[in-house]
Structure 1
Amino acid sequence: MNLNVSLRLVNLSIGLALVVVLLGGWTRLNDAGLGCPDWPACYGHFVLPSAHQVEERILIDFPGHVVDLKKGWLEMVHRYAASLLGLLILLQALLAMRKRKLEGYPVVLSCGLLVLVIVQGLFGMWTVTLKLVPWVVTLHLLGGMTTLALLVRLRQRLSVLKDHGLQTDRHPDVGAVMLVAALFIQISLGGWTSTNYAGWACDHWLVCHQESSVEYDFATGMNPVVPLGPNYEGGLLPAEARAAIQISHRLGALMFVISLLMATWRLRENHSLMPWLGLVWVVTCGQIALGVLNVIFQLPLALATAHHAAAVMLLLAVMAVYGRAFVKRTRTEVIHGYLSPG
């Protein structure tokens, strides 16, 4: 079965998706989410203009906006890379439609990725036009991570189809499914912490504040319903709400570790999975260490960037486990699968 073109295209897409996700984090951590006050152009240009041209445009269309061309370039490079990724995913969807009669080809997944990347473009627009409203920025981050995960899953399915043909007698282990779900919950909490600028809310790595009692306002901190209109750059929540957000992120990390323990126990007899589970454990421990260091040193750019990159690495490691943690269906499940429509 010749799937080499599809595999090359998805490999290129995964590489570019990595660049886009890392650039997105770098843009956010450099406070460059509003480096361009308009969308999809930047100060009305698709190639960032000179400082003099920008100043003229600011006086007319964006009064009060502080010009920072470095941040503008960060934002535009991210947009260029995301646009190219969207083009590659469009090509994958078109290729999938051409191969839709090939039994087992992941047509739905390929087209679903195209829908997802279109939605991502909308969230990219709303990130700017709604001035970094937290729930939009968090969903934009989550959408980027989901795009990367689904591209990895697409590659896994194409590889299996090429090497072993259509397999209807296997399904993912529950432990691996729970691990992926726990990771995405933690990524969501991490995004919520970042977009609400709650990384500075606690100054102690274990408790929030060692020398004083802290009031935690979970109702305000975890409430996604916020007014539209204000500029949310820098965050607008009170200290008690931000502290609650950071503590929730820490609890999410604990939940993920428990899920990893359960997955490791369930999959312990699959010896081929042990190196990959070991990699997940190593990256998880490194990510926890980076989280502690970020609290101690109050989020220096280098450590915050490393924390974001480690989250991406953890996603890839967990998806590697998921793609290999398939078990045989019971006879009843197989029969039901053949009798079900589609």
Structure 2
Amino acid sequence: MKLPVRVATLAIGLALVVVLLGGWTRLNDAGLGCPDWPGCYGTWVLPDDHTELAAAHPDALIDLRKGWIEMIHRYAAGTLGLLVLWLAVLGYRYRERAEYPSALSGGLLVLVVAQAIFGMWTVTLQLLPAVVTLHLLGGLSTLALLVVLRQRLLRAEAESAPTRSHPWIRVMFLALFIQLALGGWTSTNYAGWACSDWLYCHQDNHPGYDFSTGLNPFMAVGPNYEGGLLHADARAAIQVTHRAGALLLIFVSLLGTRALWRRPELRRGLAAYWSLLLVQVLLGVANIIWMLPLGLAVAHHAGAVAVMLALLHLNGRVRKPAGEINHGYAIAH
């Protein structure tokens, strides 16, 4: 089991880099830094001088900086794909061992292939918000499942009994997933600065909220969505919905913490989770007050990833053998 654990650990580190690079690419408006896929202007390595590219692509506005940001993200994602393929091969090799998570290894490979397709659609469909949001969620899911894979490999190495997660952890994950999806939808529709007030979302010229338009995932295919195409009322509706999701996550986390706090071995993990969650809330408020500066926006993106990883770590600590968790849950309530 040592080799699969090492490969999974390496893949987790690279997946974290890929997710952060994806946020950096999006926040630098470099999602269309390369007008084609998988290369960039028909090449795998951008030249130092854009003169040659300008001659070959006279109708394109060439920005080598944005092109390199996008290509570095693709290089990292491609390398991650090779590591996931390695894990899938190892899963096939050890498929006869009942405790080995072979199905999860294979599922991760399918997810990474789907991620590559969504990466292509991100470019060919010109940052269609639904596609970009699903691409973000796919990246986060890849990172999360790699962490789960490593946890299962370690349990298999220790020959531990099969386990199930605590019901409240699952509810917290659901609330977090909803909030991550809303955060992605806010970002891909450029609604982060839709509200001029951090508390009430006050709008001087647009007092209403257009939820039907703002939360509609079915948008026209064809237009270039860089910069966002929704009107102010729709973007404000997205922003306040994202804030409502944050409140939901905090409320669910309070209930989950109340149920889990009675276990002393979980208190340090819960404290870390809450510390990161509160910092994330403060970063969100700061982004509104200072109108989404790049540094704070990147920190907010990284904070969301950190909250997810903290909850995954807590899930690894809270798991019990399948026969024990329901009994313990019944006693606790």
What is the TM-score when the length of structure 1 is the normalising length? Answer: 0.93
Q: Write the distance in 1 (CA, Å) between the matches of 2:319 and 2:124.
A: 43
Paired residues for 1:115-264 under 5 Å: 115-163=110-158, 165-168=159-162, 170-209=163-202, 214-264=207-257
* Distance verdict in 2 for CA 1:304–1:332, change over 3 Å: closer
Specify the SS of the correspondent of 1:280: helix
Specify the SS of the correspondent of 2:35: coil
Q: Write the distance in 2 (CA, Å) between the matches of 1:32 and 1:116.
A: 24
Residue equivalent to 1:5: 3
Residue equivalent to 2:52: 53
Residue equivalent to 2:20: 22
Contact 2:164 2:325 in 1 (8 A): no
* Distance verdict in 2 for CA 1:150–1:331, change over 3 Å: closer
Question: Which stretch shows the higher mean deviation, 241-250 or 266-275?
Answer: 266-275
Residue equivalent to 1:302: 295
Unaligned runs of 5+ in 2: 328-333
Specify the SS of the correspondent of 2:297: helix
Q: Write the distance in 2 (CA, Å) between the matches of 1:331 and 1:317.
A: 24
Q: Percent identity?
A: 54
Contact 2:206 2:233 in 1 (8 A): no
Shift of 1:66: 1.4
Shift of 1:200: 1.0
Which residue, out of 60, 63, 72, partners 1:68?
A: 63
Specify the SS of the correspondent of 2:42: coil
Contact 1:180 1:322 in 2 (8 A): no
Specify the SS of the correspondent of 1:101: coil
Contact 1:189 1:249 in 2 (8 A): yes
Q: Write the distance in 2 (CA, Å) between the matches of 1:12 and 1:148.
A: 11
Residue equivalent to 2:90: 95
* Distance verdict in 2 for CA 1:6–1:239, change over 3 Å: same
Shift of 1:321: 1.0
AA aligned opposite 2:75:
Y
Unaligned runs of 5+ in 1: 335-342
AA aligned opposite 2:264:
H
AA aligned opposite 2:280:
Q
Moved over 6 A (4+): 331-334
Specify the SS of the correspondent of 2:164: strand
Contact 1:196 1:234 in 2 (8 A): yes
* Distance verdict in 2 for CA 1:284–1:331, change over 3 Å: closer
Q: Write the distance in 1 (CA, Å) between the matches of 2:95 and 2:107.
A: 14
Q: Write the distance in 2 (CA, Å) between the matches of 1:264 and 1:272.
A: 13
* Distance verdict in 2 for CA 1:211–1:133, change over 3 Å: closer
Q: Write the distance in 1 (CA, Å) between the matches of 2:228 and 2:221.
A: 13
Residue equivalent to 1:317: 310
* Distance verdict in 2 for CA 1:210–1:41, change over 3 Å: closer
Residue equivalent to 1:278: 271
Specify the SS of the correspondent of 1:309: helix
AA aligned opposite 2:71:
M
Shift of 1:271: 1.2
Contact 1:130 1:229 in 2 (8 A): yes
Contact 1:103 1:166 in 2 (8 A): no
Specify the SS of the correspondent of 1:67: coil
Contact 1:201 1:243 in 2 (8 A): yes
Q: Write the distance in 2 (CA, Å) between the matches of 1:269 and 1:333.
A: 16
* Distance verdict in 2 for CA 1:292–1:177, change over 3 Å: same
Q: Write the distance in 2 (CA, Å) between the matches of 1:332 and 1:31.
A: 46
* Distance verdict in 2 for CA 1:206–1:76, change over 3 Å: same
Question: 1:24-59 deviations in whole A, cap 9, x for unaligned?
Answer: 000000000000000011000011133012101212
Residue equivalent to 1:337: none
Q: Write the distance in 2 (CA, Å) between the matches of 1:10 and 1:77.
A: 22
Shift of 1:213: 6.5
Q: Write the distance in 1 (CA, Å) between the matches of 2:132 and 2:118.
A: 8
Residue equivalent to 2:330: none
Question: 1:144-182 deviations in whole A, cap 9, x for unaligned?
Answer: 00000000000111111112x1413x3211100011111
AA aligned opposite 1:256:
L
AA aligned opposite 1:23:
L
Contact 1:126 1:136 in 2 (8 A): yes
Q: CA RMSD in A?
A: 1.6
Question: 1:173-204 deviations in whole A, cap 9, x for unaligned?
Answer: 11000111111110000000000000010011
Q: Write the distance in 1 (CA, Å) between the matches of 2:55 and 2:161.
A: 61
Shift of 1:21: 0.3
AA aligned opposite 2:10:
L
